[in-house]
A and B are shown apart, each in its own frame.
Chain A
Amino acid sequence: MTTDTILEVKDLKTYFYTENGVIPSVDGVTFDIKKGETIAIVGESGSGKSVTSLSIMGLVGSPGKVAGGEILFEGKDITKISKREMRKLRGNEIAMIFQEPLTSLNPLFTVGNQISESIRLHQKASKEEAKKIAIEMLKKVGIPRAEKIYSSHPHLLSGGMRQRVMIAMALSCNPKLLIADEPTTALDVTIQAQILELMRNLSRENDTSIMLITHDLGVVAEMVDKVIVMYAGQVVEHTDVYTLFKDPKHPYTKGLLDSTPKIHELKEELQSIEGTVPPPGSIPVGCRFNTRCPYATEKCFSETPELTEVSPNHQVRCWLHEEGEVAI
């Protein structure tokens, strides 16, 4: 591990122990994030990307738990530390923004109360100091009349404003890692762009690493350095953003790219990947994508492919690329 690696996830397994058996939502995920780097985890609903982020936060709720692997934050395995130590990291060194700005703020407390809560907790600031920092943060995320918003309740703010508040809250303690779980999905397009730009600028300013969880490849192209494509709890492709768009190797990645509307191509019908992600618990034998893959061969139904390097910094989990380049 190099010193500038902030987070290293090694063979992470997060399983849910339900009455109907063990469901492997995240099954052997490995990746790392360097200081100041922005990576994206891409995949459909049910691919395990949100559970991966909750595992890092230590917020996987019962009956789920991290069943194996390591999550090294600045070299320390945070799956093994005490609850108390984890709480010190959470909201302080690692912060998170959620998908639903409308429901992610407590309706009964003022915006100010909720932002200064973590400032007071982690920076041991007095009430007045916390208020000052909070108002400064609100100004930083571009909220007009920050003093007034500070003492407003969340229901008075729009979705975009609430997401700005969430960002202010998440960044108030200068975290080293910001996990953003579909931060713009619930917002309309113009607000999306503003929020993404805000995140990018703030992360540059403070050298914060960002782990962006999304299914929007437009967001990926705009924001990130590295992309991890997840399918049914596993990483299927892992590369830098240019390679991903220029030369996607995995049929699933290709399918995702093909199903993104392009502004210069006028198409009658948008392409889609047939079928859906297999529900956890009924994962097929062999390659997990075999039920939907147009290139699947016999081997894909019997043997499980490993994540292998096809070129420097480009890993793919697919039999098609096992023996060198195959054009798909």
Chain B
Amino acid sequence: MDPLLIKAIIVLIVFAITLLVATYSTWGERKVAAFLQDRVGPDRAGPAGLFQPLADAVKMFMKEEIIPSVSNKWLFVLGPCISMLTALMTGVVIPWGGELTIAGQTFDLQIVDLNIGILYLFGVVSLGVYGIMIGGWASNNKYSLLGAIRASSQMISYEIAMGLAIVALVMTTGTLSLKEIVQQQDAGFANIVYQPLGFIIFLICAFAETNRAPFDLPECETELIGGYHTEYSSMKLGFFLFAEYINMFVSSMVIVSFYFGGYNFPFQHEIGLEGNILTFVQTGFFFLKVSFFVFFFWWVRWTLPRFRYDQLMNLGWKVLLPLALVNIFVTGLIMYFTGNL
């Protein structure tokens, strides 16, 4: 078969799964929230409310499209597009499993293995803020603007700490390719063993980057009504909300790949599985780990209050940034003295 065709199929599958998971995260989150709050949650559409996301999607498409007359129409539409685009683009470099052999040809379960995968990831994530900024600004609404300002300053501040946490990881692994990082963890321990502090910093920053509680200030409804998406309706609003769920899913995948061994699982070579079956089991384990972190995102959201704007900035600049620097320094020292350069 044409390798390009196979690649195209993998791309299609990855996007489909990403969208499906994001769709069902909305259902999952509502169920988890309901469980935490002693409620039932969605249970009308289909068994256990399983068709609720579909109903929501239909609703989003059918709703009236409102573009405020005082807004900049092009930018107003561009905002959610950028959000959605960047959210989907981040999934490209994630390795979903080992190698798959079809008709004598082997393929990686990864859309593309960039040798600068981490840099690519960061570049795309940084673009994500433009969607929110442009959307919030183009709405020509003061609350939207406040939300957009909060979002952009928050994301820019936390990107620095996040980047520095990754620098320490890159120091220990010596590579920028996600595939190699994951493969290294197959040979040795998971990176969480070497980078516990880095992991915590990265996790906190991931919450901030995805605008999830306790860092959901840009859209906190009790203060800013809807924040940057106050003026949005129908599927444009849907895109903003949906992008958040995709980001959550992708962040979980990145966390798992960076710190928890990606698709690897303990004793995978000892139990006698080989070839495609091993790959499928690996992918299963990968999803298990990812689901845990997605659940963790929900769990935190429905437990903690949210920060105030200045407290958020203090945490980002005065706590996480110095900690990340210390982490790099300590990692460097340890590597120097153990001769593990």
Partners in one complex: no
User: Which residues does A use to contact B, with CB under 8 Å?
Assistant: none
B interface residues, Cβ below 8 angstroms from A:
none
